[in-house]
Every structure is written in C-alpha cells, then in structure tokens.
C-alpha cells in the first residue's frame, strides 16, 4: 500500500469516526428537543394564524369568479400549465444534448437564490424556476378575486405571500445547495450544530420556536451599548426618568423629554456612540430627558392607557419641570408613544394646560382608518385571541408581538436567519440592532386591548370618540407647534397613515418630514453616515400624501440637523448647562437605569 493510499484510508476512517460521533450527538439533541417541545405552554390558537374564514372567503371568491367568467380563470390556469410544461421540456432538451447545464432563466434575481448552483445546476435551477412559476400563479390568482372586499383581499394577498415564502426551496435541507455543501464539507458537523442551535432556541423560549437573531453574549446594556452618560433622577411603578449629562458648557433653556415606545426598550436611540440619537441631541446643546418604561409582568394586568398618561406622561413632564425650573418643555413620542403623546396633548388642550411648548412625532399613527401592512393582524380573529390570552396571562407576551412583527419581514427576520442557524450551523452575528430587536417587552393586558380595540380597530382618536380620563378627545385638540417624521418603507407605521393623522391635528404650525428607509433605520440615521435622504415641503400637510410628496423637495442625508434647527428655534436662549438631578430629585443610579436591564439583573 502506497503512502498516498494509506493517507486516504486514514482520512476516510477519521471522517467516518467524525460522522458517527455526530450521529450520536444528534440522538442526544433529539432527546433534548423532545423535552423542550413538551414544555411548550398552550396558548390561544387564534394567535398562530388567521381564522379559517379568510381562506373560505378566498375559495368562495375564486369559485364565484370561475362561475362568472370561466374563460378568464381557465386562461390563467392554462397559462400556468403551459409555462410549467414549457419549462419541463426545455430542461429535458438541454439534458438530452448531453450538456449538464440549466436552460435559460427568465426570472429576475432573488437574493435567496445567490448560490451559483441555482443558475447552473439543472436540478436546483429546475426547482427554483418551478417555485417561481408556482408563486406567480398563486399571487396572480389572488389578484383576480374581485368579489372580496378591499380589507379581505389585502389579508388574502398577505397570507398567500406568507405561504409562498414559507415553501421556498431554500427553506428545506434537501433543496438548499448552501446547506448541503456545508454538511458535506463538515462531515455533518454543521447539521449537528444547527440542531444544537434549534434546541437552544426552543429551550430558551419555553417550547416556542423563535430564531435567535444576534449573539446575546456580545452586548451588555450599559456596558458596550446604551452608554451615554446620565442618571436616573426619578422612578415610579411605570418608568425611570433619565437625565443625560451635558457635553456643552451652555444648553438651550427649554428641556426636551423623549417618550420611547414601551413595546421595545429605549436604547434603540443609544446603541453605539457613532449612531446614538441621544448623544447627538446632547451634543447639540439640549437638556435631554428620556423615559425608560418598566417591562410589565402579570401584576400590571389592569394598567390602562389612562395609567400610562397619568403616571407616565404627566408625571414625567412634571418631574422635568421640577428639575429644570422651566414652565414649558418640548416633547417627543416614538411610535405607540407618539400616539399616546397625541392623546395626552389633546387632554392638556382641553384642560387649558400649557406645559408643552412643541411636540415631535417619530413614525406615529393616530388615524387608523388605513393601518397599513400591520392591519392584516388587526381583525377580530387575532384581536379576540389576544383578548382571551391576555385575560389569562395578565400581559400580552413579548413573544407574540415579536413573532407578529417578524412576519411583516419574514424572509429577513425568520427564514434567512433560520437557514443560517439551523441548516448551516452558524452562530448568530454580533449585531447590536438585532440584539435590541430581541430584547422585547410585554404589554399590560388592559392597555393592549384598549389600544387594539379603541384605537386600531375603532379608529376612536380620529373619530373623536376615544376617552382620556373618561372624556373623549380628538385630533383637532392637538394644537401645539409640531414636527412629524415618517419613514418611506415603514412596515409598522406606514407614512401615508402618519401623514393623514398629522394633517387632521389642530396645530397651525406643522412640519412634516419623510425619511428614506424604514421604522428604525429611517429614524436612527446619523448625519455622519451620509446614508438616507429625506423629503420636506414648505406647504403644511394637507390633501393626499401622494400630492404632498409630488410637491416636496428631497434633501440628501439625515433629517437630524433639520429637526435640530427646528427644535432649537423653540428652545429659548442658552443658559448654563444643567447637571442631572436636583434638590428634590437626587440621582438614584447611573444611566441606563434598572428598568432597561433583564429581569435577572434587576434583582
């Protein structure tokens, strides 16, 4: 036996040993997986998907269309059959010539199919093209359902696309060339590591499957993210108030108070120094306060939107005034916190209270007549289920909210990360934004249902019917000067809906800014990046969003400096910089405080 032959035999034995070892690990992991799944707590089935009537309506509409215009329906079906048959024949003709290659591919590029084998290998290319033909046929059939109401059609279209995305061949091991190549290269190690990742995620979420998007060990809140210097200067059951340490000798007289959404934690505005909105605001010479909301447990079950307004908004405003000695303050609300800020401003207007000088709204919906993409989850099938589940749990769990928002971008936030983690065996990346995205919070049961029923479903604020402290308020009562920033591709608070709410507000001084990008990247867009531009118009928000945009001017780069100048014009003269706290508000602890930390770190 030659040296080469002996080496090959030794390598073969070693690879077989590694393979057998991996098989043994798979058996052990399978037992852990079974135990983890068995720990899954039952929950209302309505939270897992739309009610069956969505599909029944779709089927009924398709049959009605077939009966009314069979020719058009048959044309659609025959067209699909013809394309499928043509694709099959072309693939076989290439193979019949003895050429191991794929036929011509007419479909546009899709980043899911980046591996060259999707283009060159006959098997993988055939799967890809047939999947794309199937997808085209399904979405085309939905487009022809004319008897559905606009709302039902939107839901059928959305959930059809979810099904189409789920069945992509990239989502299955046997039809994913990247995963198969990695498994061969690693003698099955990648599959074992992928199973390890899967078991870890299911164990971490009490039997539920949620893909870990970021390395949880790579970041520490207050360590390498959320590091802007400041202090907690007030705390109650609802929030901690953080005052940030000035970085300039003088500051504007009027302080700024930011209310972040309590669906996630505030430090999205303070991830790293180079993209920290909080640090940028302080560097511009503003006295900045930020609310850090508590992450509620079942003991908060009966907390309402009124409680958030009374013990959150009004209390925080009072403490900022006490600490700074100023009669008026500027305020900002982000997403749901912007919605609730608008409710608070309407209440203050009715009460004749002049506490707020100006207001800024980040990606805020107040008119829910068209809730946008997220509206597919606001029908009674989902909301009824949420109401039943929250009555049992006392909270709307962050798990259900994370899953819902992830499905709005399923390829980016579910399937692609799952492929990398479970099929490729890769470790989650050290990505601060995705770490924050996974650090979600719960909602109190009563507040969640009030928001979903009264604001989202019934559009009570825009109709002047939603009560604050028992008295109905309306958008016309929001009369302070305001600036609103919406984001062009926002999938949570779509910009046209935000525009429609702002134009109904009673303020005579409105500035509307449309930023490029989405719900997070469009807001956290530091000038130093020179990345996303924004649109503005000298005209007050009115008419249709499309007409406003047609007359707007686009400016390259971040909207932050434009907003900073707008804010400065309403923030008074420069005064000596203020250190955090005061005689009646001693420093309780350093920023970012305790409420933002994981539950284990708060004890």
For residue 482, which of 453, 503, 452, 500 has the smallest C-alpha distance? Answer: 503
For 143, 427, 465, the CA distances from 198, given in Å and listed in that order, are 37, 11, 47
In the 8-state DSSP scheme, what is residue 592? T
Helix 150-166 and helix 122-143: axis angle, to 10°? 170
Distance CA 83, CA 152 (A): 29
Q: What are 474's two structure tokens? A: 């309306």
Dihedral-angle region of residue 219 (phi above 0 means left; psi in -120 to 50 means alpha; beta otherwise): beta
Total residue length of the chain: 603
Active site residue 335: yes
Distance CA 337, CA 300 (A): 18
Q: For residue 337, give the 3-state DSSP assignment.
A: helix
Distance CA 396, CA 382 (A): 12
Helix 70-96 and helix 122-143: axis angle, to 10°? 170
Distance CA 45, CA 392 (A): 14
Catalytic residue, from 335, 456, 483, 487: name it: 335
The residue with tokens 């709307």 is 396
| φ, ψ (nearest 5 deg) of residue 357 | -90, -50
Catalytic residue IDs:
335
């Amino acid at each position: 036996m030659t040296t080469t032959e002996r080496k090959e035999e030794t390598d073969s034995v070693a690879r077989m040993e590694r393979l057998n070892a991996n098989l043994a690990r798979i058996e052990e992991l399978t037992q852990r997986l079974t135990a983890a799944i068995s720990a899954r707590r039952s929950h209302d089935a309505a939270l897992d998907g739309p009610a069956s009537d969505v599909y029944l309506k779709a089927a009924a509409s398709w049959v009605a269309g077939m009966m009314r215009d069979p020719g058009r329906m048959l044309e659609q079906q025959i067209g699909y059959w013809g394309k499928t048959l043509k694709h099959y024949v072309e693939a076989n003709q290439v193979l019949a010539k003895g050429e191991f290659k794929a036929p011509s591919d007419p479909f546009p590029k899709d980043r899911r199919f980046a591996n060259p084998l999707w283009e060159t290998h006959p098997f993988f290319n055939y799967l890809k093209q047939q999947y794309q033909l199937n997808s085209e046929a399904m979405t085309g059939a939905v487009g022809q359902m004319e008897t559905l109401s606009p709302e039902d059609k939107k839901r059928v279209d959305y959930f059809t696309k979810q099904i189409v995305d789920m069945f992509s061949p990239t989502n299955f091991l046997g039809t994913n060339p990247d995963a198969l190549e990695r498994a061969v290269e690693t003698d099955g190690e990648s599959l074992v590591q992928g199973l390890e990742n899967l078991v870890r995620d299911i164990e971490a979420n009490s039997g539920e499957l949620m893909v870990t998007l970021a390395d949880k060990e790579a970041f520490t809140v207050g360590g390498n993210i959320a590091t802007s210097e400041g202090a907690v200067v007030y705390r109650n059951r609802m929030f901690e108030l953080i005052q940030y340490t000035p970085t300039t000798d003088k500051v504007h007289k009027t302080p700024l108070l930011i209310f972040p959404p309590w669906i996630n934690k505030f430090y999205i505005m303070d991830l790293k120094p180079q993209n920290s909105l909080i640090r940028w605001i302080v560097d511009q010479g503003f006295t900045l306060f930020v609310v850090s909301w508590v992450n509620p447990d079942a003991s908060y079950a009966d907390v309402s939107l009124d409680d958030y307004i009374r013990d959150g908004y009004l209390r925080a405003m009072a403490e900022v005034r006490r600490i700074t000695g100023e009669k008026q303050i500027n305020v900002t609300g982000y997403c749901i916190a912007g919605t609730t800020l608008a409710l608070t401003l309407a209440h203050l207007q009715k009460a004749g209270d002049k506490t707020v000088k100006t207001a800024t709204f980040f990606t805020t919906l107040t008119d829910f007549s068209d809730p946008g993409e997220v509206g597919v989850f606001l029908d009674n099938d989902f909301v009824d289920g949420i109401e039943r589940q929250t009555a049992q749990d006392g909270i709307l769990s962050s798990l259900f909210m994370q899953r819902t928002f992830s499905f709005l971008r399923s390829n980016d936030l579910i399937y692609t990360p799952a492929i990398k983690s479970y099929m490729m065996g890769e470790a989650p990346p050290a990505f601060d934004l995705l770490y924050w995205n996974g650090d979600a919070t719960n909602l109190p049961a009563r507040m969640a249902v009030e928001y979903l029923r009264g604001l989202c479903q019934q559009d009570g604020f825009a109709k002047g019917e939603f009560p604050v402290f028992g008295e109905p308020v309306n958008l016309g009562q929001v009369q302070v000067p305001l600036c609103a920033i919406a984001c062009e591709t926002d999938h949570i608070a779509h910009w046209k809906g935000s525009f429609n709410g702002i134009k109904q507000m009673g303020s005579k001084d409105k500035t509307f800014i449309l930023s490029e990008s989405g719900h997070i990247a469009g807001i956290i867009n530091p000038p130093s990046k020179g990345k996303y531009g924004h649109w503005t118009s000298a005209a007050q928000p009115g008419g249709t969003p499309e007409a406003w945009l047609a007359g707007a001017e686009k400016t390259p780069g971040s909207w932050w400096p434009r907003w900073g100048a707008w804010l400065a014009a309403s923030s008074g003269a420069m005064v000596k910089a203020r250190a955090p706290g005061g005689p009646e508000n001693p420093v309780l602890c350093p920023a970012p405080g305790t409420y933002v930390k994981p539950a284990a770190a708060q004890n």
